[in-house]
Amino acid sequence: MNLTRYFSRLIILSLSYIAVFTFAKVASATTENDQIVLTFLGTGAPRPSLERYGPSILVEAGDHRIIVDAGSGMRERLFQAGGFKKLTAVDTILISHLHFDHTISVSGLWLSGWLYGRRIPMNIYGPAGTEQMMMHLQKAYQWDIDYRGIVGVPLQGVELISKDIMPGVFFDKDGMKITAFEVEHMPVDFKTGKALKFRGQTLGFRIDYKGRSVVFSGDTRSTKESKILKYGKGVDVLIHEVQVPSPGNSKEAKLANVSLPVHSTPEQSSYIFSQTKPGMAVYSHIIPPDTTKEQLVRESRPFYKGPLTVAHDLMKITIGDKILVEKIKVMEEQSFEKSNVLKK
Ligand SMILES: [Zn+2]
């Protein structure tokens, strides 16, 4: 994104919420085929929350339907966002790392998407260990698959194809390029801050589509070595995790703060935003999930003055000539008959 475009966005985004919603209405009437549309299915973390489900974001661009991370409740939020149609349309899940809050809904979408009409395989991309996890999931659900097969559910589409990926471009088709990069979420000694020897990798992603771009930080602390400084430079939308230290000495505060060395405080995330200058900076994967928008903005503003959005579940961001932030309308009636998914 060039400087003029960046500043024009800055001005647009400084306008009031009302203005943003007015833009949003115009945009939804004229959806263009070079847009990237993000739907935040879950904006929380491991701690159960009815307001913020586990981390998961739907990315739609052209014919692509991709989910980044499969946090708890992802299937239900996807159903709220688009009923059976969206539930059966997603055929790709990117996993940033193998923590349960990022993987727990893989089987939910893989199997219910198939049961309700997806007739193409589900593809999973993630760091080393993903293939093994998916092989075990397939084994775990073999009884279910065999059972449904024997009573007549077509087995086409139940395939689960997984790939362990390394940093670099791992997906490049139909105008979409996806790059993985390493982020700093591997375990460290809580007292010394030194890296502990441990297997695997933790990743962030950058998606490019027809000149639009979005970066997902994955889970990460923020240092001057952060690869997000490179991949997030001038990106349209930079989605970054955040953890606010829990005050006090309660058991829960202690448990939450153990993970602080591998996450980013508002000040640290703001440093990344201020260096990369995205068209829109977005907080998602918010720890603890009951942190308020006001608190995050207040703690970030001394360090980052640019456009900032605190994501909430079922928020939508459209990346086009403008960046539009909306709350999506939840589908009230979920009629399987009307969805026409079986006619595909
Ligand atoms: Zn996480």
Distance (angstroms) between ligand 1 centre and the Cα of 286 equals 9
Centre of ligand 1 to C-alpha 207, Å, is: 20
Strands (E), the chain: 36-42, 56-61, 64-68, 92-94, 122-126, 160-164, 168-173, 176-182, 203-209, 212-216, 237-243, 280-287, 308-310, 315-319, 323-327
Q: Using the mean position of ligand 1's atoms as its centre, give its distance from the Cα of residue 213 in Å.
A: 22
Distance (angstroms) between ligand 1 centre and the Cα of 335 equals 33
Q: How far does residue 30's CA lie from ligand 1's centre (Å)?
A: 35
The rounded Å distance from CA 23 to ligand 1 centre is: 33
- Domains in the chain, CATH or no CATH each: 31-96+166-320 (3.60.15.10)
What is the Å distance from ligand 1's center to 248 Cα?
23
Q: State in Å: Cα 259 to ligand 1 middle.
A: 10
By DSSP bridging, strand 315-319 and strand 36-42 are antiparallel
Ligand 1 centroid to residue 219 C-alpha, Å? 6
| Rounded distance from Cα 218 to ligand 1 centre (Å) | 7
**What is the pLDDT at residue 5?**
54
**b/e string for 119-137 if b means 16 or more Cβ within 10 A?**
eebbbbbbbeebeebbeeb
Q: Which pLDDT score, from 0 to 100, does residue 27 have?
A: 39
Taking the centre of ligand 1 as the mean of its atom positions, its distance from the CA of residue 33, in whole angstroms, is: 32
| Sequence-ordered list of residues with C-beta below 8 angstroms from that of 247, at least 6 positions apart, any chain | 253
Q: Each residue of 294-319: pLDDT tens digit?
A: 999 999 999 999 999 999 999 999 99
CA of 308 to the centre of ligand 1 (A): 21
- pLDDT of res. 32: 62
Looking at residue 312, what is its pLDDT?
98
Alpha carbon of 68 to ligand 1 centroid (Å): 12
Token pair for 163: 């790939």
139 CA → ligand 1 middle, Å: 25
Mean pLDDT of each 10-residue bin along the chain, 344 residues long: 49 40 38 88 95 98 97 97 96 98 98 97 98 98 98 97 98 97 94 91 98 98 95 98 92 86 96 98 96 97 98 98 94 76 63
The secondary element (H helix, E strand) that includes residue 87 is helix 74-89
